[in-house]
Amino acid sequence: MQNGIKKTLFIVTFSLLSAQVFGHGDLTKRINEKTREISESPKDFRLYYERGLLYQQHIEYTKAHEDYLKSKSLGNTDKALQYRIAEVNYLAGDYNAALKSITAYLEVNGSSDVKAKKLEAQILFELGAYKKSLYAYRYVIDTMKDLRPEDILEYCDIILAENDKNQEVALEAIESGLKLLGPNTLSLQLRKLDYLKNSGQIEKALEQYNYFILEYDRREFWYYKKAMYLAEMKRPKEAIISLKLATATIDRLDMKFKNMNAILKLKEQIKSLEAQLK
């Protein structure tokens, strides 16, 4: 599971880096426009803040940071600025500085700011302070009005980072997420499946596959995924049954679906798994 998180982090980092080579359309134009405005009124802290935001969107974190500090030195005491300083430090990977600024922010503005709490949790996570991170994120989960499935998943990542044997705790978090966001929220049900498989709860994992099969209108993909898992678990006969059901489901699809590339590929996959199992 640790691996999973590292992988995610790697992808995140990688995409942040690779994003730098791409442009953002009119952002450059707007940055230039702001720069022009700044040259006209160089003492206006609002302008530096606004350009900082643009730089931040343009993934130019150093410049954004400089603009924020400049805005602050010119007298900007807005709490939004304080938050952005923490955020840009976090995005730039300077987690110690980020923690310092978010802590200051929370001290001044009270610790009830959910968005800031979330950032604090994310920073603590990066610093490896998993227990503290969990504590902060728990507050986010309990308080945020409109929680997203991504929040629950992130919370689960922290739970497992803190202790990779805590699959059960992560599962509980998923269950509570399902209660909050709707019992069939796909990404949470998928994660539940992952945890059941990773913790070796084979029967429960199979039940989870059955949940997908029964809940969905089109079942062919779920039958195949269940068959793959059964094959992995060295239960070939059950795997074949699931493959037969997959094929029968495909046979009953409307012609246009039968001829779709995703289904043609699935049929190949079924065939090859069937051949392996014989």
Residue 249 CB, nearest approach to other proteins (Å)? 7
Q: Which stretch binds other proteins (CB under 8 A): 41-49, 157-165, 194-202, 234-242?
A: 234-242
What are 228-234's contacts with CB under 8 Å, separation 24+?
Answer: 228/273, 229/197, 229/205, 230/206, 231/273, 231/276, 231/277, 233/202
The CA radius of gyration of the chain, in Å to the nearest whole number, is: 25
- Can residue 214 be called a binding residue for other proteins (CB under 8 A)? yes
From the list 44-52, 68-76, 161-169, 182-190, the region that binds other proteins by CB under 8 A is 182-190
Angle between helices 114-126 and 130-143 (to 10 degrees): 160
Number of residues that bind other proteins (CB under 8 A): 59
Structure tokens given for 253: 């699809």
List binders of other proteins among 123-142 (CB under 8 A).
none
User: Is residue 188 near other proteins by the rule CB under 8 A?
Assistant: yes
Neighbours of 72 (CB within 10 A): 17
Which residue among 10, 11, 35, 62 contacts other proteins (CB under 8 A)?
11
Contact flag: residue 241 with other proteins (CB under 8 A): yes
Q: Does residue 23 belong to the site contacting other proteins (CB under 8 A)?
A: yes
Question: Of the listed pieces 19-27, 90-98, 123-131, 197-205, which binds other proteins according to CB under 8 A?
Answer: 19-27
Catalogue the E-assigned strands of 223-266. none
CB atoms within 10 A of CB 74: 15
Contact call for residue 26 and other proteins (CB under 8 A): yes
> Chain centroid to CA 178: how far?
16
User: Is 144 near other proteins (CB under 8 A)?
Assistant: yes
Interacting residue with other proteins among 216, 232, 271, 276 (CB under 8 A): 216
Pairwise CA distance, residues 95 & 166, whole Å? 26
Instruction: Tell me the two tokens of residue 29.
Output: 């134009």
Q: Does 248 bind other proteins (CB under 8 A)?
A: yes
- The residue from 37, 126, 162, 238 that contacts other proteins (CB under 8 A) is 238
**Residue whose CB is less far from other proteins, 26 or 75:** 26
In angstroms, rounded to a whole number, what is the distance separating the alpha carbons of residues 175 and 47?
46
Nearest distance, CB of residue 214 and other proteins, angstroms: 7
DSSP state of 63: H
CB of residue 181 vs other proteins: minimum separation in angstroms?
A: 4
- For 144: left if phi > 0, alpha if psi spans -120 to 50, otherwise beta; the answer is beta
Among 36, 79, 115, 131, binds other proteins (CB under 8 A): 115
Minimum distance from residue 73 beta carbon to other proteins (Å)? 25
CA count, 13 A, side-chain hemisphere, 80 = 7
Q: Which of 89, 101, 185, 208 binds other proteins (CB under 8 A)?
A: 185
- What is the rounded CA–CA span in Å between residue 95 and residue 62? 14
Please, which residues have CB within 8 angstroms of residue 140's CB and are 6 or more apart in sequence?
A: 114, 117, 118, 121, 151, 155
CA-nearest of 211, 204, 214, 277 to 244 is: 277
Interface ranges with other proteins (CB under 8 A): 11, 15, 19, 22-26, 114-115, 118, 144-150, 153, 177, 181-182, 184-188, 190, 210, 213-214, 216-219, 221, 226, 237-238, 240-242, 244-245, 247-249, 251-257, 259-262, 265
